[in-house]
Structure 1
Amino acid sequence: MKPIKTNMIFLCLGMLLFFSSCVEDDDYNAPQFMETPPEIEGNIISLASLAGVLAQNDSLFTFEATNNFAEAYVVSNDEGGNFFRELIVQDKPEAPTYGIAVQVDLSPLFTKYNFGRKVYIKLDGLTLGQREGSEPRLGMVDGSTIGKIPESFVEEHIIRDTITAQVVATQKQLSELVFTDANTYVELTDVQFSGIYFLNNTSTTYASETQDEFNGERSLESCVSSAELIFSTSTFSDFKGLSLPPGSGSLKGIVTRDFLGEFFTFYINSPADVVMLGERCDPLVFSCGIAATPAAMEFITIDFEDQNTNNPLSIPGWTNYIESGSEAWEAFLDNGTNQSLGISARAGSFNSGDVTNVSWLITPVIPIEANSKVTLEFKTSNSFSDESVLQVLYSVDWDGTEEGVSAANWASILDAEIVQDDQFFADWVSSGLVDMSCFEGDGYIAFRYIGSGAEASDGTYELDDILISVE
């Protein structure tokens, strides 16, 4: 029996050596699968060429027998839940000129169409369209609208390449946004959330407040201009319960338009794309409240009746200054549906062609220090003001020259009511009886108009019956 035992020992040792040679503890390598680029059997075109197709067609356009594939890069990411069954793509990973929202009946998308992924979109069978003023969309026709590409057709129409590009966000100020920025990846700089979300040492969430239904909509404001924008977060997002950052800084995301195409909105992929660690840039304000009665003596009263209509205002002691653009404050007379109050003043940039238009109308110095009571009254109206802005400001350090206007510190007169865009255009709105008695020092009141020749911000504001009283 001894030889048998010896043979068994050698057999066991041999099997041990065999297995130890097949498996190394730390050097085992998983099989590597090489992804190959797709073979596109058709014409590869720029995504930006779809802009021309839209311009040539007033209604929905369905691609047929073109054999065209649009090259694009994914800039949305639905991993955090802020996008759902929608893929945002743009024509280039850097400095894009065009973007589009592709409607797909598939979720999640990030596992296959990740951020930066290059794709080819097979256009035949898809329909292109957009609502008036809103961003373009691509999908399958559903009656008179753009429907979602069915899940079974997604891979046929959205072909994934092997390339994941480094997407570089286009840096923009809020005031620099234009319609072609829609559906592109943008970094908004020098911005903060409105101070109303941080009152009484509290902080509002992204989208978990009681009034938030489908989206939490928050006001995002510029630190360098009067521009504002609606920041939207889905109530289905993973980060809806996080608090908004209280500081100023920048954030990266997708520029969109609201449902009716009236204004810009903004969606982020992740809260990691929000960097707001700077100090807040809240504007200076003057506020003494509303006075019960006007001051006893009229100091300045202006009704513009002595001005030449359709000409720039020319009032002794006042400054009518164009900071940028071509449009000054002018006198006008209108007896139609948009009636003036006799001769009134107006500022606007309709058909101006100006990239920006900033016009100032500034009073003579107001003697705050020599009086115990000072009050201000005026009336405003608007003609489709849209995204243009009228501000009422006060400065104690303006040197009285046009050159010094931009260098001076101007603070908002908080209690003065100004007509809103949704106010009926024929109405005139009273400012209220604004108390200026607590303002710190003699200074100047300015009516500043901000607009542009762009359709979204080429509105008009009207002004009349300015009365400043002292006692």
Structure 2
Amino acid sequence: MKTLQFKKLIFIAVIAVVFSSCTSSSDIEYPTLKQVYFAENFDNAGGTALPSGWNSYAEIGSKLWSGGVYAGDGYATFTAYGSGDAANISWLISPAIDLDQHEGESLSFQTCHDKYVTSTSNSLEVYISKDYNGNFGASHWTKVSYTSTLPYPLTSSYAYVNSGKIDLSYLTGNIHFAFKYTGINPSTGAYQVDNVRIVY
């Protein structure tokens, strides 16, 4: 009988130690789902118009970014084809984004190009400005890195590539981000941008 009671006591003691050593729920870090703060699919522009708040600026040449639709899916696009210019540099500039509303923001998007992008004289770069107010010449832009489509060789036209996350968490206040297209004849291929997201 004493042996049985002693075994019970040992069992209870072991259980107490096990449960007392468990991590409380308040100490566990659960992964949080990212919330979308800004999204642009370019689906609401219709035809060649850009969505409200987006602007295009031709730094060199005369052509501007435009909207496009294929199989019901909208996108923003630029090509130097048919411009008649020796060179084109054109910017697609986002609406103002207030980065004081949240923390830990990051930017992502998708890009692709067609088979006529055959050299590095065609390129698509991404920049961020903290002082753009509609006057491009008076603003300052900082280039950021992203996972881009390769200029060539191209195995499949218009194969979208995910940009990866571009960290915005170190920035405060209003910013604009922009896609900068550079095209020099005869390399006159087209680039497309779609599914832009800022999450936190």
Cα pair distance change 1:389/1:330, threshold 3 Å: same
8 Å Cα contact 1:294-1:375 kept in structure 2: no
Alignment of 1:200-239 (within 5 A): none
Q: Which SS does the other structure have where 2:76 is aligned? A: strand
Distance 1:451 1:324 in 2: 10
Distance 2:168 2:130 in 1: 13
Match status 1:428 vs 2:160: yes
Query: Equivalent pairs: percent with the same residue?
Result: 27
Post-superposition CA distance 1:391-421 (Å, at most 9, x none): 11001122x21xx21332111112x212121
Please, which runs of 5 or more residues in structure 1 have no aligned partner?
1-292, 336-340
8 Å Cα contact 2:113-2:191 kept in structure 1: yes
Distance 1:431 1:445 in 2: 14
- The letter for the 1-side match of 2:90 is S
Number of residue pairs matched? 165
What residue number does 2:82 align with? 351
Structure 1 residue 302, shift from structure 2 partner: 1.0
2:35 aligns with one of 257, 282, 297 = 297
Alignment of 1:65-464 (within 5 A): 296-309=34-47, 311-313=48-50, 315-334=51-70, 342-383=73-114, 384-385=116-117, 386=119, 387-398=121-132, 400-401=133-134, 404-414=135-145, 416-422=146-152, 423-424=154-155, 425-439=157-171, 441-452=173-184, 454-455=185-186, 457-464=187-194
- The letter for the 1-side match of 2:126 is V
Bigger radius of gyration among the two: 1
Distance 2:129 2:77 in 1: 22
- Give the TM-score of the pair, scaled to structure 1: 0.33
8 Å Cα contact 1:294-1:433 kept in structure 2: no
- The letter for the 2-side match of 1:382 is H
Post-superposition CA distance 1:120-141 (Å, at most 9, x none): xxxxxxxxxxxxxxxxxxxxxx
Calculate the aligned-residue CA RMSD, in Å.
2.3
Post-superposition CA distance 1:309-367 (Å, at most 9, x none): 3x242x222222223322211122345xxxxx812211111121112212211112222
Post-superposition CA distance 1:276-316 (Å, at most 9, x none): xxxxxxxxxxxxxxxxx89733222111112223x242x22
8 Å Cα contact 1:312-1:328 kept in structure 2: no
- The letter for the 1-side match of 2:87 is T
**Runs ≥4 residues deviating over 6 A:** none
Distance 2:162 2:150 in 1: 12
Cα pair distance change 1:317/1:333, threshold 3 Å: closer
- The letter for the 1-side match of 2:109 is F
Cα pair distance change 1:297/1:326, threshold 3 Å: same
Distance 1:333 1:428 in 2: 15
8 Å Cα contact 1:330-1:346 kept in structure 2: yes
- The letter for the 1-side match of 2:41 is D
Please, which runs of 5 or more residues in structure 2 have no aligned partner?
1-30
Structure 1 residue 449, shift from structure 2 partner: 1.0
